[in-house]
Amino acid sequence: MNIAVIGTGYVGLVTSACFAKLGHTVIGADNDPSKIEKLIKLQMPIYEPGLEELVRDNVKHGRITFTSNVSEAIRKSTIIFICVGTPPLPDGGADLSAVEKVARLTAEEMTAYKLVIDKSTVPVHTGEWVKKTIQTYNKHRVEFDVASNPEFLREGTAIYDFMNPDRIVIGIASEKAKTLLLELYKDINAVKVVTDINTSELIKHASNSFLAMKISFANALSRICEKAGADVTKIAEGMGYDKRIGGAFLNAGPGFGGFCFPKDVSAFIHIADKLGYDFHLLKSVEKTNEEQKEFIMKKVEAALWVLNGKTLAVLGLAFKPNTDDIRFSPAMDIVTGLLKKGVKINAYDPEAMVNAKKILKDVKYFQDPYQTMTGADALLILTDWEDFKNLDLEKVKKLLKAPIFIDARNLYDPKKMKQNGIEYRSVGRP
Ligand SMILES: NC(=O)c1ccc[n+]([C@@H]2O[C@H](COP(=O)([O-])OP(=O)(O)OC[C@H]3O[C@@H](n4cnc5c(N)ncnc54)[C@H](O)[C@@H]3O)[C@@H](O)[C@H]2O)c1
């Protein structure tokens, strides 16, 4: 099938490359010409494991091309995937201006049938608005369908997740749209949940909010554990074996981040408000998440007493490992908060420093985790990159002014750290 993927960011680029791999003919289109220039030169505008190889292979086989001419991409394709950003507005709602632009452009450019599928995460009723917009500007009065197909991939394992999803959610309003979408995904072996568009849109917000709720629950537990002298990691293990609960997303830490959970939780609260329901449960999830970042900062303060003028070695800036994405990263917020308190930050992240440098200009960046520690007053781990799990503790002790180690990701065994003579503080563990 001929597919145009509009927006070649974390979701759009993976979607383009994976549909090409499945044998479809794909045009990846973006209104940011710098991204397209890079892609044409086979340079990736984002870091995602395996993506470069996948794009190269599909370009070589002629299954994927890139353009900044979005109109042309729409004209040449029957299937239009909307994969643009839906960032948060100051009131917590989702900014749908990019989605609207693509809908209007599609309406103006189409001269033959199009199936317009929204893959961006959007509030319920967006599909209805996309349909209304296309109807309004449908210059050539051609037939079209609108559908919803939310994406559940995780950055860092995005290609695997796209190809091996737990489920594919398809929201449709016509048999033709259903047939086309099922055909598109026929080679992916996963349960297909076929429903109406409103329900499909809500499945995405409900799923992300539920996962965020699990993380906030674990973080709230971590606070109780510290007061009660219990171990939150063991509680998560003990809970996780219960199949009704499941062990995933029960890790206490610095709070959830990234371009999905924070904005999706606030968008869902906002939608519920607009629909006349006070989603106080999710408001608490959001509040707990904000408090958790403060909680980590207080740990640093408890370890160092006076913060002003101290130097902290910080490992990790991305919101999670295996990505360069720093959007709504708790690490970025914590570092910003510590800088405001007069702490000097020496930072290292395997992939996220290029992005972080654009925002945190007062931070000193290093090319190796150990370089950050030379002469620092303490070490703080904020992202659970694999590289940070097996640090040479003797070297750490030698490089730091004093062996003070704050671990916001619970990567080390507190007992072993004590045996090693390290003053170790983690999250929710005795
Ligand atoms: N990042 C994730 O892990 C993830 C996972 C699932 C769903 N989502 C959702 O997918 C959507 C996209 O997220 P992302 O992380 O890929 O965002 P992104 O910012 O990385 O990518 C969006 C892209 O759209 C382009 N764009 C914006 N307006 C455009 C327009 N009018 N025409 C053409 N291109 C345009 C931007 O230049 C950018 O390259 C969001 O709604 C997000 O919530 C993201």
pLDDT in tens, 287-304: 999 999 999 999 999 999
pLDDT tens digit sequence for 106-123? 999 999 999 999 999 999
pLDDT averaged over every residue in the chain: 97
Ligand 1 atom nearest to 35, measured from its CA: 39
**Mean pLDDT computed over 18-45:** 98
What is the set of active-site residues? 260
**pLDDT tens by residue, 221-253:** 999 999 999 999 999 999 999 999 999 999 999
Cβ of 120 less than 6 Å from ligand 1:
yes
Closest ligand 1 atom to Cα of 158: 3
Both 282 and 183 in one domain: the answer is: no
12 lines ligand 1 (CB under 6 A): yes
Residue ending a domain, among 195, 230, 260, is 195
Cβ–ligand 1 distance for 322 under 6 Å, the answer: no
Of 170, 195, 220, at which residue does a domain stop? 195
Pairing relation of β-strands 64-67 and 2-6? unpaired
DSSP state for residue 383 in the 8-state scheme:
S
Residue among 10, 31, 149 whose CB has most ligand 1 atoms within 8 A, to mutate: 10
What was the pLDDT predicted at 242?
98
Domain tally for the chain?
Answer: 2
Q: Is 4 helix (H, G, I), strand (E, B) or coil?
A: strand
Exposed / middle / buried, residue 157 (Cβ in 10 Å: 0-12, 13-18, 19+): middle
Mean pLDDT confidence for 40-54? 97
Three-state SS for 291?
helix
Domain termination residue (choose one: 195, 227, 244): 195
The CA-to-CA distance between both ends of the chain, in Å, stands at 57
Q: Is 100 helix (H, G, I), strand (E, B) or coil?
A: helix
CB 204 within 8 A of CB 170: no
Q: What letter would DSSP give residue 94?
A: B
101 Cβ inside 6 Å of ligand 1: yes
Q: Could you tell me which of 9, 4, 58 has the C-alpha nearest to residue 34?
A: 9
Mean pLDDT of 367-374: 98
Domain that holds residue 402: 211-425
Q: Ligand 1, atom 43: nearest CA belongs to which residue?
A: 121
> Which mutation among 5, 15, 16, 30 tests ligand 1's pocket best, with the greatest number of atoms within 8 A of CB?
30
Are 375 and 311 spatial neighbours (Cβ–Cβ below 8 Å)?
yes
| Cα 324 to middle of ligand 1, angstroms | 15
In this prediction, residue 343 carries a pLDDT of: 98
Residue 430 confidence (pLDDT): 87
Q: Could you tell me if residue 205 is inside a domain?
A: no
Same domain, 188 and 297: no
Residues 186 and 227 in one domain: no
128: its two tokens: 């209805």
- 189 & 254 share domain: no
Is residue 322 in a domain? yes
Which domain CATH number covers 335? 3.40.50.720
Q: Could you count the other beta carbons within 10 Å of the beta carbon of residue 164?
A: 11
